């Protein structure tokens, strides 16, 4: 019985994703675009989450090649590595957005008084949280497992921030020492860290 319920949910999600793609095709201005062209655009996380049932929208975001949010007056776009099987950081988890907005509104105003806050993000995945913090004026080091670094580094370069990328495998004393050697930090952040 539980397995049947899971399959039904999977079918419903697939149907919802198809409906969204069809709607996006209709809403596109100018000449009609192929479904592939629509899929290649970044989905605005906040706009998608604002409409409809959250679970369906999160499934839609996870199936996009890119997601974007507005940070410090401009769009921040990250590419998701949906093909990865080695780690869970191939897609942007919604809590990245929620934590970024919380830190932006409640924590950073107090930290910015002295200087640029130094931040280390644990388990950065695609880098949305750390890159957003860098756009907000923080000095950020994004960390993750070695297998996640190529996509993370690519997103850092595309974002044009001064954020640094560093390998950090938990339990590896040399990785931990390398991150700690960068000096004291003001904030250590992480979300959905597994």
Residue keyed to tokens 């806050």: 117
pLDDT digit string, tens, across residues 25-57: 343 334 434 434 444 567 788 887 777 777 777
Q: Which of 161, 94, 160, 102 is nearest to 125 (CA)?
A: 94
Q: Please state, for a pLDDT cut of 70, what percent of the chain lies above it.
A: 77
Burial of 53 (0-12, 13-18, 19+ CB in 10 A): exposed
Task: Give the DSSP H or E segment for 167.
Answer: strand 164-167
pLDDT digit string, tens, across residues 77-121: 999 998 888 888 899 988 999 999 999 999 999 887 668 999 999
pLDDT digit string, tens, across residues 1-23: 454 555 555 556 555 555 544 44
CA-to-CA distance for 114 and 168, rounded, in angstroms? Answer: 28
What pTM value is reported for the model? 0.76
CA-to-CA distance for 102 and 124, rounded, in angstroms? Answer: 17
Average pLDDT, the chain: 82
Q: Residue 115, SS3?
A: coil
| DSSP letter for each residue of 9-56 | HHHHHHHHHHHHHHHHHHH--SS---HHHHHHSPEEHHHHHHSS-HHH
């Amino acid at each position: 019985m539980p397995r049947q319920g899971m399959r039904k949910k999977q079918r419903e999600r697939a149907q919802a994703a198809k409906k969204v793609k069809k709607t996006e095709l209709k809403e596109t201005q100018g000449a009609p675009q192929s479904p592939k062209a629509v899929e290649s655009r970044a989905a605005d996380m906040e706009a998608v989450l604002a409409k409809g049932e959250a679970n369906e929208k999160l499934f839609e975001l996870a199936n996009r090649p890119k997601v974007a949010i507005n940070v410090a007056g401009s769009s921040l776009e990250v590419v998701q590595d949906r093909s990865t099987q080695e780690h869970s950081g191939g897609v942007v988890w919604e809590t990245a957005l929620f934590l970024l907005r919380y830190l932006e509104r409640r924590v950073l105003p107090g930290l910015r008084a002295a200087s640029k806050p130094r931040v280390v993000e644990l388990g950065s995945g695609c880098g949305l949280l750390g890159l957003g913090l860098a756009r907000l004026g923080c000095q950020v080091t994004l960390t993750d497992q070695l297998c996640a670094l190529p996509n993370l580094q690519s997103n850092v370069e595309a974002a044009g921030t001064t954020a640094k990328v560093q390998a950090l495998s938990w339990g590896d004393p040399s990785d931990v020492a390398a991150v700690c050697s960068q000096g004291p930090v003001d904030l250590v952040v992480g979300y959905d860290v597994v």
